[in-house]
Amino acid sequence: MNFESLANELLLDIFEYFNAIQLLHIFHGLNIRFNKLIYLHLQTYPLDFRCISKQDFDNICQKHLPFITNQIISIHLSNDDDTPEQPNLFFSYGFHFQQFKKLQSLSLYYIRSTDLINNIIRNCPHLIYLKISKCNFDDNMEKAQFCVNNIWNLTKLKYCYLDIPFYNDFYIPLPTIISLSLENLSIANDLFNINDLIRLFRHTPNIRNLNLKIQDTSNDEQFPFIIPLLSKLKISFKGSLDTLKNLLQSMPNLSELIIETDGIFIDGYQWEHIIINNLNKLKVFRLLMFYKMDLEKNINEEVDQLLESFQTKFWLHEHQWFVRCDSDSEYGFTYLYTLPYGFKKFYNLASDMSKSTCSIDKKYNASNFVNTLSLDYFLLRFASQFPIQFSNIHHLELSVPFDDILWSIIPKFDRLISIELVSIIHPDESDRPINDLRLLLNRAIHLYSITMDYLIVSQLSLVQITNKSIRRLDLIAGDGHFYGLECISLIQSLLGDQCEVLLINIENRSIALDLIEKMSNLRALTFQCQDDRWGDSNESLLIDDEFIQWLKHRLPSNCLVVRDESELSAIRLWIR
């Protein structure tokens, strides 16, 4: 039996092991039947252009995409260091989003132009899902307002995720038109006061799931109406207890409340009163409360009183909602959180005291929700005294060297995607810390990206890294080291030829050419160079950029060469 004789159902099952890019590259054009099956597959799966080589991107845009624009339902475009200038290159091939008549889902990453985002969104009238992540709006409120209104004007949009960093006191404007379709909204980074929320709810009346940050300095701000459809709320709240009460009173149908509070003290009796009187449909409750205890009082007694308020029948028997309290006895900093810990990041400020309302149970010590962790000396010391475990870490910041307690804190590294190594190693230390790090990296079978400084990479290059999943290396660390020609042998000793994306500081421009020539799989390179005369104050170079022209003259014509819009001293290359 040959491959082509398999039933369509079996072929579609096999296709699920490939992403859309791989399917088009491998199977498209073999025959009419395979083409139809690929089109059928694309009606369910996204066309994800992140982490793609420039050669594959060019081939798909030139040879395949013009013939399947009517089949695509989901697209991801990114302008990060893995795929620099990808959105502009996409449009340079003559595409416009009006061609994608069945497009329902769109995800944009690291786009730094409000005009470009606007041009994309207004040509996607059928969107149901929209994600704008790590994108920057220009410091132009009128353009930003137009963009937000364009989003709220999408009549079929149900899901919207906005993660837009803000600078120079610039903030995302609120919509001025009403969306009747939008039901799920998540806004990262921006801060809302109660008046902002009132306006947001008026313009999004059918909201059911909301995630945002609230900061309100008023003492007793009343909420003027009920939000009857809202069933899931995830907020980071900084303000008064009365304001929080008034807000939650307007949400009688909440079934899920995930809340972080900062600087506000709410004990178990108060939460019990709020939930019983206002949130009687609540099924899921996750709490993370940060505040500072009065140092004039006995910290241990204060913690015991606080935990006692969470040990009523309501907490322990009716809902089985347990809490844990971590405190710093010297400064009074305190975190109280429900168990198991229910947030993506874990916070610990040199706590030396930890108490809980539940008996020792491994399932409550395990923090499966946490996927981003900064593991420093203080957290390692804390974990050596109080049991805690993380089994779902995707992104890890780790101080090197580390204690053996690490292996019990994170028993498996099979879900780790990226790691940032922070060096506290001294040259006269033994090889043991690097051998431990080698063991960790080899266990992380899905690790894609490593960030580290010169000291760590030079020591790691002396040991054998057998992990074949690592593709991205970020050496633009805080140590300010500029690499000479030795960087090529260091990287090849560390990763062989498997490095595909590299970020690095180099001594002179010729090293960039050497990197491209000798690292055969390198597809994207971002670097800063000591002999680059570029300066933010030298506007004349904006028109005639000598360095960019020097690179273009020496690199193949299909190699994309640009300066980083947000960091003009950095050059970004999309090579092959």
Q: Give 220's pLDDT tier (boundaries 50, 70, 90).
A: low
Contact 216, 239 (CB under 8 A): yes
- Say how far apart CA 263 and CA 64 lie, in whole Å: 55
Q: Residue 559: give the domain boundaries.
A: 471-479+498-576
* 452 part of a folded domain: no
Confidence of residue 528 (pLDDT cuts 50, 70, 90): very high
For residue 114, pLDDT over 70 is answered with yes
Count the domains in the chain. Answer: 1
- The set of long-range contacts for 314-319, using a CB threshold of 8 Å and a minimum separation of 24, is 314/272, 314/275, 314/276, 315/268, 315/272, 315/357, 316/357, 319/285
E strands within 13-92?
47-48, 74-78
* 562 assigned to some structural domain: yes
Considering only residues 518 and 536, tell me which one the structure prediction assigns the higher pLDDT: 518
Q: For 217-270, where are the E strands, in sequence order?
A: 232-238, 256-262
Within 8 A by CB and 6+ apart from 521, the residues are 497, 498, 499, 500
Q: How many Å apart are CA 498 and CA 92, to the nearest integer?
A: 30
pLDDT of residue 221: 66
Residue 537, SS3 per DSSP? coil
**378 located within any domain:** no
DSSP letter assigned to residue 117: H
CA distance 92 to 361: 58
What pLDDT, in 10s, does the model give residues 283-342? 999 999 999 888 878 888 999 999 999 999 999 999 999 999 999 888 889 999 999 999
pLDDT, position 427: 46
- In angstroms, the Cα distances linking 207 to 57, 178, 216, 489 are 37, 11, 21, 55
pLDDT confidence of residue 350: 76
Could you tell me the CA-to-CA distances from 153 to 123, 141, 526 in Å, in that order?
Answer: 12, 18, 37
452-473 tens-digit pLDDT: 999 888 888 888 899 999 999 9
Region for residue 206 given its phi and psi (left: phi exceeds 0; alpha: psi -120 to 50; beta: otherwise): alpha
- pLDDT at residue 541 tops 60: no
Does the structure show a pLDDT above 70 at 430? no
Q: Is the pLDDT of residue 347 over 60?
A: yes
What average pLDDT does this structure show over 138-145? Answer: 85
Ramachandran angles phi, psi of 508, nearest 5°: -150, 165
User: Any idea of the CA torsion for 450, 453, 454, 455, to the nearest 10 degrees?
Assistant: -100
In whole angstroms, give the CA distance from residue 555 to residue 548.
Answer: 11
Nearest to 264 by CA among 240, 285, 288, 286: 240
**What is the CA 16 to chain-centroid distance, rounded?**
25
Identify the sign of the CA torsion 380, 382, 385, 391.
Answer: negative
Look at residue 162 and tell me if it is in a domain.
no
What is this structure's pTM?
Answer: 0.92
**Domain annotation covers residue 563:** yes
For position 64, what pLDDT does the model report?
86
Mean predicted lDDT score pLDDT of the chain: 89
Establish if 535 belongs to a structural domain. Answer: yes
Residue 553: CB atoms within 10 Å: 7
Question: If we measure between CA atoms, which residue out of 67, 2, 56, 49 comes closest to residue 26?
Answer: 56
Question: Is residue 252 reached through a cis peptide bond, with omega within 30 degrees of 0 on the bond before it?
Answer: no
Q: Is residue 572 part of a domain?
A: yes
Assign 361 a pLDDT band (cuts: 50, 70, 90): low
Selection from 132-146, 177-191, 328-342, 426-440 with the highest mean pLDDT: 177-191
**Mean pLDDT along residues 15-27:** 81
What pLDDT is attached to residue 264? 92
Q: Is the dihedral of CA 154, 216, 167, 527 positive or negative?
A: negative
Q: For residue 407, what are the contacts with CB-CB under 8 A and spacing of at least 6?
A: none
Per-residue pLDDT at 20: 79
Does residue 307 form part of some domain? no
Q: Is the pLDDT confidence value at 362 over 60? A: no
Per-residue confidence (pLDDT) for residue 428, from 0 to 100 = 46
301: left (phi over 0), alpha (psi -120 to 50) or beta: alpha
